[in-house]
Chains A and B, each alone.
Chain A
Amino acid sequence: MYRYDEFDHAFVAARVAEFRDQAERRLAGEITEEQFKPLRLMNGVYLQLHAYMLRIAVPYGTLSSRQMRMLAHIARTYDKGYGHFTTRQNIQFNWPALADIPAILADLAAVEMHAIQTSGNCIRNVTADHFAGAAADEVADPRPYAEILRQWSTVHPEFSYLPRKFKIAVTAAERDRAAIQVHDIGLHLKKDADGRLGFAVYVGGGQGRTPMIAKKIRDFLPEADLLSYVTAIMRVYNLNGRRDNKFKARIKILVHETGAQAFAAAVEQEFAALGDGALRLPEEDVAAIAAYFAPPALAPRPEGDAALAAARAADPGFAAWLRRNVHQHRHPDYASLTISLKGIGEAPGDASDVQMDAVADLAEAYAGDEIRVSHEQNLILPHVARADLKAVYDRLVAIGLATANAGLVTDMIACPGLDYCALANARSIPVAQEIAGRFADQARQEEIGDLKIKISGCINACGHHHVGHIGILGVEKKGSELYQITLGGSADEATSIGEIVGRGFGPQEIAGAVETIVETYLGHRTGREESFLAAYRRLGPGPFKEALYGDHAKAA
């Protein structure tokens, strides 16, 4: 993975010292909250309901064991023994004292991590496919490009005060696991007919108050032009984005109001004006960055399949976990595995310090020292020999992280919601927990098959509800929580925005409503091979409305 050079070390150390000074002056009353707030936000420090919250960047979701151990250390030493992995592949700590944050940032710097640009109207953490560098179906590892974008965008003087925050995602497989079409810029790394690498470029996707699917404005951008083309997009946005209205300031509104074609033309014009200048990526530089991402040496381990067959027969729990949590690796003797942070009754995305340490140990012992955070709030070990899967599984069982539910109904995304978040209208975590409880039975979950439920506690949509097969949005109505359901959303290569099914449900009703929806699907599907999403796309909302609202369906 990428290692800091001297410049990176010096820069991050200087930022830690700067923030220490700012925090000390704030605590001494020398600067006001009005002056301090933008400074703390630049360093990922928010104020939530019960305490400050520190959001730490995990670039494109990649962590080493050493870094994961440091996160465990921070959870134990400065926080309350756990952290929350987010849909931006980052981690948040919910309870740090302001006075401790400079020390936390110094600890992070020691393992080449920071919290810079995890807030504010700048280019945020670039996210990527969590199976990058391992997946059988990718054309190349997309992370070197994410790293190039990270370096280019970090404290970029021109793009540090954009009209609004800006999110970029990169994938390198036809199967989109990075939700690129709901990002401000989505990049799909692919090869042209001559085998050269380049990107399909999507722009103007997003969720929040006004969900939009990104428009493809370039089918193939040669890799060398990545930075100049993205710069051209940023310039058009920076100049024309709506700074007068926060709710209209994201690039999706600009693309929508301008029209994709006209927007693309403006970008092409800017791109042409930039010419073949300093932003062109030299091949050697791309190769130098790519070298950091070279996978661990994957020695042949052909003994795996025989061992797996025996273990599978002897242990049904292991068999279920193999069915759900193991993903195909490009090396036939290896696999990528999902460590579900969605144990039944747990808060989605939360991990304790003990669990983080144990995952770090596992990654070191079995997975080439690499860990990923997925935008679905799970952890991934990307390179594990199939022969070692049983040993890894047994150790996951011991720390309560062997839930065999990847991609199933209980593998839900849920934002922190009203239990923590100052912007929330309703709670998310208890809704997820109750739904998980109802579908806890493994056989029933597997019978239902692939189903993505995504829950947000307010319209900001950190829980990606718009693109959930079943989306749940918490709102506040007359002082109480109310949950609105959307159906048919999806964040893959065939992205769609979910449609509101009807009136909302109270906190006591919402899990039951989800169960009704799932039962309706089971009753209508053509067979097990027709997924929930496929069935919804075939059936439309009718049968679901009918089941949820009965005679009132038409009025709803």
Chain B
Amino acid sequence: MQILTANRLLDGEAVWLGPDRLWHETIAAAEVAHDAAAAARLEETGRAALAASHVVDVALVDVELVDGRPWPKRLRERIRAAGPTTRTDLGKQARPATARAA
């Protein structure tokens, strides 16, 4: 299973592509691709968003589902989804409804 992530051009904020074709600041809003064809569709949207200069550093991320929500396999992506583990007062984790990475 994969989701598509990027950083927003304006401020570098980590974002994920949702089923609504919009980029969201929380990983929970990401659309999960269950097969290669679905992942390819995500990537296509990502390429268009890159070309339109909305986002940069577009990449697919491997996830599993935990309580129905995407949970990245790599710590790196979990930290992107939450914020620095050493500064839990900063980043997404400091906002309501975003879990910490580690």
* Interface residues, chain A, with chain B CB atoms under 8 Å away: 26-29, 32-33, 47-52, 80, 95, 97-99, 347, 418-420, 424, 426-427, 429-430, 433, 476, 479-481
B35 on the A face (CB < 8 A): no
> How many angstroms from the CA of A29 to the CA of B10 in the assembled complex?
11
Contact of A479 among B9, B75, B87, B90 (CB under 8 A): B75
**28 contacting pairs across A/B (C-beta < 8 A):** A27-B10, A29-B52, A32-B51, A33-B50, A33-B53, A33-B56, A47-B7, A49-B76, A49-B80, A50-B12, A50-B14, A50-B83, A80-B90, A97-B11, A98-B9, A98-B10, A98-B11, A98-B12, A99-B10, A99-B11, A418-B79, A427-B85, A427-B86, A430-B85, A430-B86, A433-B86, A476-B75, A480-B75
| Contact yes or no, B56 A50, CB < 8 A | no
Q: Tell me, yes or no, whether B74 is within 8 Å of chain A by CB.
A: yes
* Bound form: Cα–Cα A433–B85 in Å: 12
Shortest CB distance B2–A (Å): 15
Counted as pairs of residues, one from A and one from B, with CB atoms less than 8 Å apart, the total is 75
Nearest CB of chain A from residue B48's CB, rounded to whole Å:
12
Is there an interface contact between B53 and A479, defined as CB atoms closer than 8 Å? no
Q: Report the interface size class on chain B.
A: 20 to 34
Within 8 A of A (CB), among B39-54: 50-53
Known contacts: A347-B86, A427-B85. The answer to whether A481 contacts B75 by CB under 8 A is yes
Chain A residues closer than 8 Å to B10, beta-carbon distance: 27, 97-99
Given A29, A433, A480, which contacts B53 in the complex, CB threshold below 8 Å?
A: A29
Known A419-B79, A430-B85; judge A51-B9 contact (CB<8 A): no
Nearest CB of chain A from residue B32's CB, rounded to whole Å? 19
Nearest to B53 among chain A residues (CB) is A29
Q: Which residues of A contact B57 (CB under 8 A)?
A: 47
* Contacting residues, chain B, for A99 (C-beta < 8 A): 10-11
Across the interface, A418 reaches (CB within 8 A) one of B13, B52, B75, namely: B75
Q: State how many angstroms separate the Cβ of A38 from the closest Cβ of chain B.
A: 14
Q: How far in angstroms is the closest Cβ of chain B from A350?
A: 9
Query: A33-B56, A419-B86 given as contacts; is B74 within 8 A of A479 (CB)?
Result: yes
Within 8 A of A (CB), among B52-75: 52-53, 56-57, 73-75
In contact, B12 and A51 (Cβ under 8 angstroms): yes
Q: Kindly list chain B residues whose C-beta atoms are within 8 Å of the C-beta of A80.
A: 90
Chain B residue numbers with a CB within 8 Å of A50 are: 12-14, 80, 83-84, 91
Please name the residue on chain B nearest to A481 by beta carbon: B75
CB distance from A48 to the nearest CB of B (A): 7
In whole angstroms, how far apart are the Cα atoms of A32 and B14 in the complex? 19
**Is there contact, CB below 8 Å, between B76 and A424?**
yes
> B residues within 8 A CB of A480?
75
Q: How many Å lie between the Cα of A98 and that of B11 in the bound state?
A: 5
Asked whether A52 and B11 contact (CB < 8 A) given A33-B50, A418-B76, A419-B79, the answer is: yes
Asked if A52 and B12 make an inter-chain contact with CB atoms under 8 angstroms apart, the answer reads yes
Known: A418-B75, A427-B85. A97 touches B12 (CB 8 A): yes
**Nearest chain B CB to A307's CB is how many angstroms away?**
39
- Tell me which residues across on chain A come within 8 A of B83, comparing CB atoms: 50
Q: Are A27 and B9 in contact (CB under 8 A)?
A: yes
Shortest 10 CB-CB distances between A and B: which pairs?
A: A29-B53, A419-B84, A97-B11, A51-B12, A52-B12, A429-B86, A33-B56, A49-B80, A419-B86, A50-B91
Q: Is the CB of A479 within 8 A of B73?
A: yes
**CA A26 – CA B91 in complex, angstroms?**
25
A98 neighbours in B (Cβ, 8 Å):
9-12
In the complex, A426→B80 CA distance in Å? 13
Extra contacts besides A47-B57, A97-B10 (18): CB < 8 Å: A27-B9, A29-B53, A33-B9, A33-B53, A33-B56, A47-B7, A50-B80, A51-B7, A51-B11, A52-B11, A52-B12, A95-B90, A97-B12, A98-B9, A426-B75, A430-B85, A476-B75, A479-B74
Contact assessment for A51 and B13 in the assembled complex, using a CB-CB cutoff below 8 Å: yes
A419 to B88, CA, bound (A): 11
In the complex, A427 Cα to B84 Cα: how many Å?
10
A residues within 8 A CB of B76?
49, 418, 424
A-chain residues with CB within 8 Å of residue B84 when the two chains form the complex:
50, 419-420, 429
A29 to B53, CA, bound (A): 5
